[in-house]
Chain A
Amino acid sequence: MERAERVLFIIFAITAIASALNILLQRSPLYSALSLIGTLLSLSALYLTLHAQFIAAVQIVVYAGAIMVLFIFVIMLLNVPKDQPQIEKQKGLRYLAVPFAGVMIAEMFYVFFDNKRPIRLSSMPMPSGNVDQAVGTTWNIGTALFTDYLLPFEVTSVLILMAVVGAMVLARREGD
């Protein structure tokens, strides 16, 4: 059981990183978008290993479904040209990216793999009590969302309304 969880983690972590790297390697934005869907799906599987069932489902429905369909729709609508490095002006940025990535990775190893910190030894608590109401179930999230977190929930609806109006205004043709 213990080993199975680790194997699952490693499989989906490798898939996530491989498709994330593929986003950078592809020249065409359409293939980059399809690779991002691979990352999103493996992250959804990782959420399941963290006992976050509701978020895993929402990840597939909202992210890999709705948001990525919007991206692919726009890419196909615009018939986007491929990335053209020959007319690149900011060549320096490309060389800046390597030390930048190095610094971030070094920071990560410093913070997460320092033996003095207890974070490495943590283990996942098993849900105690009623399993139907454990952290991460729809019951649990819905109860918290409509009691303690009601204000953020309502504010989000205003934000989405603003986004809908803003998107329509921005994408409208002049003179319509």
Chain B
Amino acid sequence: MSSLAANKRKTMVPLSWYLALSALLFTIGAVGVFIKRNAITIFLCIELMLNAVNLTFVALSGFFGDVGGQLFVFIVMTVAAAEAAVGLAIIISIFRNRESLNVDEVDSLKL
């Protein structure tokens, strides 16, 4: 405990600022998923939410001095790359079949 206290120096940027920024970015991304109707823009908002969570991981990793959070971010980035490749392939295929990217028109799964 004493070594932890010795490692601490006077507050620079508090952890809560990073977490608040991350929550704000996540909220903006989530609102974007609600109000946007273009499939690619919705996808971009999902990427924004992923990045907001990454910021939380890196902030907590830095403040707790544990490398695990940064490794998780590294793996989230590779998963995001895979997700972008597959998701954009699906979007291309939807556009070929329907000539539109409006998610309101892609409703054949609806009851």
Contact = CB atoms under 8 A, between A and B. Distances in A.
Contacts of B62: 50-52, 124, 135-136
A66 B67 contact: no
Contact of A24 (B16, B35, B59): B35
Contacts of A2: 10-12
Contacts of A23: 28, 32, 41, 44-45, 48
B96 A9 contact: no
Interface residues of A, number: 92
Q: What DSSP secondary structure best describes chain B's contact surface? A: helix
Contact of B77 (A58, A153, A166): A58
**Interface size bucket, B side?**
35 or more
Q: Tell me the interface secondary structure of chain A in the complex.
A: helix
Interface of A: 2, 5-6, 9, 13, 16-17, 20-21, 23-24, 29, 32-33, 36, 39-40, 43, 46-47, 49-52, 54-55, 58-59, 62-63, 66-67, 70-71, 74-75, 77-78, 80-85, 87-90, 93-94, 96-97, 100-101, 104-105, 107-108, 111-113, 119-126, 128, 135-136, 140-141, 144-145, 149, 152-153, 156, 159-160, 162-164, 166-171, 173
